[in-house]
Chains A and B, each alone.
Chain A
Amino acid sequence: MQRPVEKAPSARGSRGESDRTSHADTGSAGEIVAQFEIRYTRFLDENGRAVRELPAFARDPDVMRPIYEHMVLTRALDRKAVALQRTGQLGTYPSSFGQEGTTVAIGAAMARDDVLLGTYRETGAMLFRGVRIAEILQYWGGDEAGSDYRGPGAPRADFPICVPIATHAPHAVGVAYAMKLRREPRVAVCALGDGATSKGDFYEALNGAGVWQLPLVFVIVNNQWAISVPRSAQSHAETLAQKAIAAGIPAEQVDGDDAVAVYQAMRNALSAARDGAGPHVVEALTYRLSDHTTADDASRYRSADELERRRALDPIARLRSHLERAKLWSEADERRLEEATAARIEQAAAEFLALPPPPPEAMFDHLFAQLPEALREQRDALVAAAAAHRAETVSGEEDGQ
């Protein structure tokens, strides 16, 4: 099991860049040539009380209120999406229930021109960056057009969510390389899961980011599970963050259920990367309170006790307590937000449900910039077959079937 998050980090040491002769010879064990440590940061405990001095932004309503509002929005969207799936109106859906503090803080910390490369569980970051709710539903409803982000201020350069685990990590290296080559003050952010850190793609990407000192921030969203495989079975390393050390990249752990901690770590990492200080790895310790997806039943592999314990760490309740205590939020605010969120979700769901299905030829029309002559015949055949099938279905319905 992951060590208790309250405790001081167990992984320690310091990267010894210092000259070897200054180290004491430790006898037969040889001299120490490299040491490292991984630090863990949390600002708010599970009751939303500050456990250390808060950064100034934690009392800034312009920063904190949008984060809280998007966390609530993310949870409401997840709830709606699961309901739509259960009633056959949406495909398999991966909820980020419990991870709202991490996913929203990632999106909030990024600049508009930065590029997000995330998984299927970064809904909060996507919403914060301007992906529309209806687009997210359209995507999970089975239409790739949902990944053609078109809302006002949409993050047009962001990658579509990545399904094959960790395969987007190398993309982030290329994106960051382009930014650095063009001397742009932009950063790529690659969010991936605890399971993803076991893949070679992740190591290759870390290594490349280190070699070229790219403006790239990796966020390991450690929700303790990769479907049914627990964190403890994923790696024997004390922290996943320390995997960055081997690539020469600084890394840290934060309490992923404390949006203040995630935001702070991301802000620092992003601004350092923007200033040319190179890549950074943030491991956010959080928990997936939902099933892996709507196609999963987590009770097959994890105990009700564990779930109960983790529910108590709820990132939304925690942040709300802090905001209320800091006088940034009131009961009236909460009621207004509840109403506004429900209305937004209902409106987006109605918009999604009214969308026409994509035309069948869409599968050909975006395969290449221009359809090669060699594929024209197949496209025509598809259009004809689909039209005939539809006509038959309609006449069947008219026959009273």
Chain B
Amino acid sequence: MSGAAAAAGAADQGRHSTLSEITLVEAVNAALAHELEADPSVLVLGEDVGVNGGVFRATAGLYERFGPERVVDTPLAETLIAGMSIGLAAQGMRPVAEIQFMGFIYPAVDQLLNHASRLRNRTRGRLSCPMVLRAPCGAGIHAPEHHSESTESLFAHIPGLRVVVPSSPARAYGLLLAAIRDPDPVVFLEPTRIYRLVKENVRDDGTALPLDVCFVLRDGGDVTLVTWGAATRETLEAAERLAQDGVEAEVIDVATLAPLDMQTILESVEKTGRCVIVHEAARNVGVGAEIAARIADEGLMSLLAPIKRVTGWDTVVPYAKLEHDYMPRPEAIVAAVRETMEAA
């Protein structure tokens, strides 16, 4: 963090406000505004992020407040957006770039994999890449084709990259602050389905959340439900239904998919002996597979039942008519938990 940012962070105490009943996308906006205000090296760039305030309004009002040089409408060029962010970051800036939809992030993968994630390593620390690449992700908003993927595992597989998926307004605010202040590149995936689904009070005091621990959303001793992103909604709903039948589920929001905090997950599984992993992304080689493998490796002896996964199908994410048949439903999660309960 620059000296200016540190000073502004300290000055925050005393004049912070509570943003009442804000949505996840408004929390993203608040975090961006906070960092643009606090740190002159922060800038926001992407397609339609300026005058238009972003197609989801994540950057609304920032252009007016911070001007066109720091809230930058780019040409329609994803390689450029990711690549120039690397150049900016290497020069000591803190770019927060937006890819308009996850479906259009793939040209940026080359830049993330070949450069952003390894610039520090390639130069033995001489240059580094403190950039954030934000992108909306996931299905469920009746969007056109190519707008509904959850391909977080592609990014989690890249060494040197952090991958973060918030699932509530408060976590979006705190994790985005942390991502912007982190000295290394972060891919920040925002589930569109919950952009406006829940509202909560968020203290706009510049307090960041840690980037390398899972969040326990619900305590329970019978089964561990591991999830992230929009699927936390269905998972929490399933947990409520199970509670009515006397099954207490612990719900863990992984939130930071890479690097992965297995500690929290293993401790929970040690307590419950059962684990169901829920994610919207396709099952094959999803992040859930890694978590299951790690539990099998390091927590097998505490397991009372096989690990189950409830995920999107291994198909192309369907267009709007079928997208709700694609995403994990609470019933499927409840059924998977029942199976593990019956196993032992």
Interface residues of A (CB under 8 A from B): 115, 117, 144-145, 147-149, 156-157, 159-160, 163-164, 167-179, 181, 188, 200-201, 204-205, 207-208, 211, 362-363, 366-369, 372-375
User: In the docked arrangement, what's the CA distance between A211 and B85, Å?
Assistant: 16
Q: Which residues of A contact B110 (CB under 8 A)?
A: 164, 167
Could you list 6 further interchain pairs (A-B, Cβ under 8 angstroms) beyond the known A174-B85, A174-B95, A366-B121?
A157-B127, A173-B87, A174-B93, A207-B80, A366-B124, A374-B261
Which of B43, B74, B126 is A208 in contact with, Cβ under 8 Å? B74
Q: Which residues of A contact B80 (CB under 8 A)?
A: 170, 173, 204-205, 207-208
User: In the docked arrangement, what's the CA distance between A171 and B88, Å?
Assistant: 8
Q: Smallest CB–CB gap between B5 and chain A, Å?
A: 16
Interface residues of B (CB under 8 A from A): 43, 69-70, 74-75, 77, 79-80, 82-93, 95, 107, 110-111, 114-115, 119-128, 159-160, 183-184, 212, 259-263
Contact B259–A372 (Cβ < 8 Å):
yes
Q: Which residues of A contact B75 (CB under 8 A)?
A: 204, 207-208, 211
Contact A363–B121 (Cβ < 8 Å):
yes
Contact B87–A366 (Cβ < 8 Å):
no
Q: Smallest CB–CB gap between A21 and chain B, Å?
A: 30
Contact A374–B260 (Cβ < 8 Å):
yes
26 contacting pairs across A/B (C-beta < 8 A): A115-B91, A147-B126, A157-B90, A159-B127, A164-B110, A168-B83, A170-B86, A174-B85, A174-B86, A174-B87, A174-B93, A175-B88, A178-B87, A179-B91, A181-B43, A181-B69, A200-B107, A201-B79, A204-B77, A204-B83, A207-B75, A207-B77, A366-B120, A369-B120, A373-B263, A374-B259
Q: Which residues of B contact A205 (CB under 8 A)?
A: 80, 83-84
Which of A156, A173, A204 is B126 in contact with, Cβ under 8 Å? A156
Contact A178–B92 (Cβ < 8 Å):
yes
User: In the docked arrangement, what's the CA distance between A250 and B79, Å?
Assistant: 23
A160, A170, A207 pick with most chain B CB within 10 angstroms: A170
Q: Which residues of A contact B43 (CB under 8 A)?
A: 181
Majority-rule SS of A interface residues: helix
Contact B212–A372 (Cβ < 8 Å):
yes
Contact A167–B83 (Cβ < 8 Å):
yes
Q: Which residues of A contact B82 (CB under 8 A)?
A: 170
User: In the docked arrangement, what's the CA distance between A178 and B77, Å?
Assistant: 19
Which of A147, A163, A201, A204 is B124 in contact with, Cβ under 8 Å? A147
Q: Which residues of B contact A149 (CB under 8 A)?
A: 126
Q: Smallest CB–CB gap between B266 and chain A, Å?
A: 12
What residue of chain B has the Cβ atom nearest to residue A186's Cβ?
A: B91
Which of B69, B87, B212 is A170 in contact with, Cβ under 8 Å? B87
Contact A375–B122 (Cβ < 8 Å):
no
User: In the docked arrangement, what's the CA distance between A177 and B183, Å?
Assistant: 20
Q: Which residues of A contact B124 (CB under 8 A)?
A: 144-145, 147-148, 362, 366
The 7 A-B pairs at the shortest CB distance, nearest first, are namely A174-B87, A170-B83, A174-B84, A374-B259, A178-B91, A171-B87, A369-B183
Contact B115–A171 (Cβ < 8 Å):
yes
Given contacts A147-B123, A204-B75, contact A175 B90 (CB under 8 A): yes
Q: Which residues of A contact B90 (CB under 8 A)?
A: 157, 159, 171, 174-175
User: In the docked arrangement, what's the CA distance between A157 and B128, Å?
Assistant: 10
Contact B212–A175 (Cβ < 8 Å):
no
Contact B91–A175 (Cβ < 8 Å):
yes
User: In the docked arrangement, what's the CA distance between A169 and B87, Å?
Assistant: 9
What residue of chain A has the Cβ atom nearest to residue B45's Cβ?
A: A177
Q: Which residues of A contact B183 (CB under 8 A)?
A: 368-369
B89, B119, B125, B126 pick with most chain A CB within 10 angstroms: B126
Contact B77–A208 (Cβ < 8 Å):
yes
Which of B77, B86, B159, B263 is A171 in contact with, Cβ under 8 Å? B86
Q: Smallest CB–CB gap between A372 and chain B, Å?
A: 4
Q: Smallest CB–CB gap between A363 and chain B, Å?
A: 7
Q: Smallest CB–CB gap between B205 and chain A, Å?
A: 24
Contact A171–B121 (Cβ < 8 Å):
no
Q: Smallest CB–CB gap between B94 and chain A, Å?
A: 11
Contact A368–B114 (Cβ < 8 Å):
no
Contact A373–B212 (Cβ < 8 Å):
yes
Contact B77–A367 (Cβ < 8 Å):
no
Contact A201–B83 (Cβ < 8 Å):
yes
Q: Which residues of B contact A157 (CB under 8 A)?
A: 90-91, 127
Contact A164–B114 (Cβ < 8 Å):
yes
User: In the docked arrangement, what's the CA distance between A157 and B87, Å?
Assistant: 10
Q: Which residues of A contact B111 (CB under 8 A)?
A: 167, 170
Q: Which residues of A contact B93 (CB under 8 A)?
A: 174, 178, 181
Contact A366–B115 (Cβ < 8 Å):
no
Q: Which residues of A contact B83 (CB under 8 A)?
A: 167-171, 173-174, 201, 204-205
Q: Smallest CB–CB gap between B260 and chain A, Å?
A: 6
Contact A144–B260 (Cβ < 8 Å):
no
User: In the docked arrangement, what's the CA distance between A375 and B259, Å?
Assistant: 8
Contact B84–A177 (Cβ < 8 Å):
yes
User: In the docked arrangement, what's the CA distance between A140 and B262, Å?
Assistant: 38
Contact A170–B84 (Cβ < 8 Å):
yes
